[in-house]
């Protein structure tokens, strides 16, 4: 499957990537190769292959989620070490912004 420049640009916009023309050309070629390989795999007959969700034999280990009080001195030291604070809260850059295209 050959991806067009417009498709790569749409994918980049969804991933919030700022690509230049050279990047778009490179990713169009590379992603097309990956999709062609996936198309080859889709042609394989897997009727006799059992469904598999886990092959290592490992299992999840769960523990109870407990709230533990922090020593006031430790909490104060951590807060003081953080560069941007608002009282007892840490200020960080916004993860989500409101600059997305509204279609």
pLDDT tens for each residue of 68-95? 888 888 888 888 899 998 888 889 888 8
Give the integer Cα–Cα distance in Å for 42 and 31.
17
Mean pLDDT of 19-36: 95
Domain ranges of the chain: 1-45
Give the integer Cα–Cα distance in Å for 75 and 86.
14
Whether pTM > 0.85 for this model: the answer is no
Instruction: Tell me the β-bridge partners of 89.
Output: 86
**Residue 30 main-chain phi, psi, to 5 deg:** -65, -45
Share in percent of the chain as helix, strand, coil (round to 5): 40, 5, 55
1-45: CATH topology is Histone, subunit A (1.10.20)
pLDDT confidence bin for 99, thresholds 50/70/90: low
């Amino acid at each position: 499957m050959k991806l067009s420049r417009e498709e790569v640009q749409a994918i980049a916009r969804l991933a919030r990537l700022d690509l230049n023309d050279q990047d778009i050309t490179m990713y169009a070629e590379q992603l097309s190769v990956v999709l062609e390989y996936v198309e080859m795999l889709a042609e394989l007959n897997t009727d006799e292959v059992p469904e598999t969700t886990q092959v290592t034999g490992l299992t999840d280990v769960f523990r109870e989620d407990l709230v533990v009080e922090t020593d006031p001195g430790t909490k104060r030291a951590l807060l003081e070490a953080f560069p941007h604070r608002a009282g007892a809260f840490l200020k960080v850059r916004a993860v989500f912004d409101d600059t997305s295209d509204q279609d």
